[in-house]
A and B are shown apart, each in its own frame.
Chain A
Amino acid sequence: MADPVLELRGLTRRFGALTATDDVSLTLRRGEIHALIGPNGAGKSTLMGLISGKIAPDAGEVWLGGQNITRLSVARRAQLGLGRSFQVSSLIPEYSALRNVMLALQARQGHSYRFLRPVMRDQPLRAEARAILARVGLDARASVEAAFLSHGERRLLEIAVALALAPRCFLLDEPMAGLGSEGTARLVGFLRRLKQEAPILLVEHDMDAVFRLADRISVLVYGRVIATGTGPEIRANAQVRAVYLGEEAPT
């Protein structure tokens, strides 16, 4: 196996007496979708915060592309290629869809300290942003402010913004949340193609989508990874069935 793109080594984070993340180690390899599942309160959000840099760990390390990024800021990690989407849509509400993507492109280029040239007249930047919106099927809504997009469209715009960063890996926090079955089906197809560009660490509640998409699945319970494996392995794992999936195996 090739070197992992993203690697967590013994990540631990306590909040008082509660150990929200308990010695978590996992890897994300080139070309794969690695899904992270777990019941509510299992510590998925804390783990995402630790990876993105919003939360500092008490112990353990985060490595991205062979570089230790444990001590770096959220912005620095993003510059190094960590492309994250948010569980609750988190866009720039007063900016159009196009401008949201343009901002991400600008951030990727690292040129935010420019004071003279009007950014909205930057034709190459506009064209690139339009192309990305077209990839997720939002080109017709390019000029609509993010605040006025539908929920599903906002989820797609989240993906477009992550795409614009051309990251080394994607960190997608419940991208299917609130999408209808049709939207979910489209997104599943899209993510399957996307993983060829950069691997995806996927936190998702939609079990159907997870088992259809994921090359590997890790199950998080009380802050610990109790099992990692392929879909069939996870389905067959007795411990997982007991604590998480209940008596019935998912279909």
Chain B
Amino acid sequence: MDSARKEWLLNAVMAGALFAVPLWALMANEPFIITLATRIAILAIAAVGLNIALGLGGMVSFGHALYLGLGGYVAGIAAHHAFNGTPVFAGLPGTNQMLIIWGVAMVVSGALAAIVGALSLRTSGIFFIMITLAFAQMGFFFTLSWPAYGGEDGLPIFVRNQFPGLNTARPWHLFVIAYGVLILALAAFALLRAARFGAALMAIRQNPDRAAAIGISPFGIRLVAFILSGMITGLAGAMMADLTRFVSPAMMAWTMSGELIVIIILGGVGRLFGPVAGAAILVGFEVFFGGLTEHWKLWLGLVLLGVVLFARGGLIGLIAGRGQHG
């Protein structure tokens, strides 16, 4: 079997398992498992976003928690005002509708990513990493010191936001929403990668001078990719806030940015289902080893070391081999 078929099959198995396991948990009345699967799905969406910038574009953003947190705060602030019946500002009411919140979260995250990208994409390598980190830290300290929405205590969401036709208070319904959005995000990633835009973006990752010499401006392509990347991660942030019914500056912490990178490396950089595999590994570790020892991150670190040293393609690369570009 060639590697493209193998990867396709592996993806199908993962997509099936991520649906089947919580479905089984629903039958067996294990809501905790359903919530874990929802967490995996939402983390995977966030990582799909980062995978556009990092995997396809080679832009190592060490500040994607900024968009995750921003999306989270959009959801939290909208819910806060909807709950209290107060305007957000100048008569603009809050809302408890997920679809509206997602739209706002994506627009706001995209706008911020445009600013951060326009400034940081003038640099590369270690400077790019540091500038993206610096912006995320600014966001972190801003939310930390902003008393209106809880400051360092964070902001609780008392009633989970609503989705038309579903009861978001029920774990299974919330999972179905997250799973659906994950599939949409993966579809968007796959389309974009196969299209002309993806061809240009991946070419720029490999050889920006060549791309410029044939007339493809690296800056513009990278910036658009960075914005799309921030938008998807921001969407995941809004969903994450609704899952935990809580937003805090910790969502913007640099460790969160690191976690997103770790997810992609574990799963496979630039691979379609890399974020799904990586998120499953990360959450799996947290649950199984976290129950045994407080120091589970040490073991995760060893696994990460193993992947970087011996399996550059992550889990998907290990099973399906090298990716094909055609």
Contact = CB atoms under 8 A, between A and B. Distances in A.
A162 to B, nearest CB: 9
Given A103-B200, A116-B195, A74 B326 contact: no
Nearest to B228: A115
B196 A106 contact: yes
Chain B at the A interface: SS class: helix
Contacts of A118: 191, 194-195
B210 A91 contact: yes
A161 B195 CA distance: 20
A111 B194 CA distance: 14
B199 A75 contact: no
Interface string A54-92: 100000000000000000011110110000101000111
B215 interface: yes
Interface string B197-220: 111101100110111111111100
A120 B198 CA distance: 11
A118 B216 CA distance: 18
Contacts of A75: 211-212, 215-218
Interface in A108-131: 108, 110-120
A206 B202 CA distance: 35
Interface in A157-212: 161, 164-165
B206 A94 contact: yes
A115 B192 contact: yes
B217 A73 contact: yes
Nearest to B203: A92
A112 B214 contact: no
Given A90-B210, A91-B210, A113-B224, A107 B216 contact: yes
Contacts of A115: 191-192, 195, 197
A125 to B, nearest CB: 9
B214 A104 contact: yes
B214 A119 contact: no
Nearest to A106: B196
Interface string B217-238: 1100100100000000000000
B122 interface: no
Contacts of B212: 73-75, 78
B215 to A, nearest CB: 4
A90 B199 contact: no
A112 B210 contact: no
Given A112-B196, A115-B191, A161 B206 contact: no
B5 interface: no
Contacts of A94: 202, 206, 325
B199 A99 contact: yes
Residue in A91, A112, A161, A165 whose Cβ sees the most chain B Cβ within 10 Å: A112
A118 B197 CA distance: 10
A90 B207 contact: yes
B207 A120 contact: no
A157 to B, nearest CB: 11
B212 to A, nearest CB: 4
A102 interface: yes
Given A74-B213, A99-B199, A119 B194 contact: yes
Nearest to A158: B210
Contact of B194 (A78, A120, A145): A120
Nearest to A75: B217
Residue in A76, A108, A114 whose Cβ sees the most chain B Cβ within 10 Å: A114
A79 B215 contact: yes
A222 interface: no
Contacts of B198: 119
Nearest to A90: B210
A244 interface: no
Interface string B59-83: 0000000000000000000000000
B214 A107 contact: yes
A52 interface: yes
Nearest to B190: A118
A76 B212 CA distance: 8
Contacts of A91: 207, 210
B122 to A, nearest CB: 13
Q: Nearest 5 CB-CB pairs, A to B? A: A78-B215, A75-B217, A118-B194, A74-B212, A79-B215
Given A76-B215, A103-B211, 13 more contacts: A78-B214, A86-B213, A99-B199, A103-B200, A104-B214, A108-B214, A112-B200, A113-B221, A113-B224, A114-B197, A117-B195, A119-B195, A165-B214
Interface of B: 191-192, 194-200, 202-203, 206-207, 209-218, 221, 224, 325-326
Interface of A: 52, 54, 73-76, 78-79, 84, 86, 90-96, 99, 102-104, 106-108, 110-120, 145, 161, 164-165
17 contacts: A84-B213, A86-B213, A90-B209, A93-B206, A94-B325, A95-B202, A99-B326, A103-B200, A103-B211, A106-B200, A107-B214, A112-B196, A113-B224, A114-B197, A115-B195, A118-B191, A119-B195
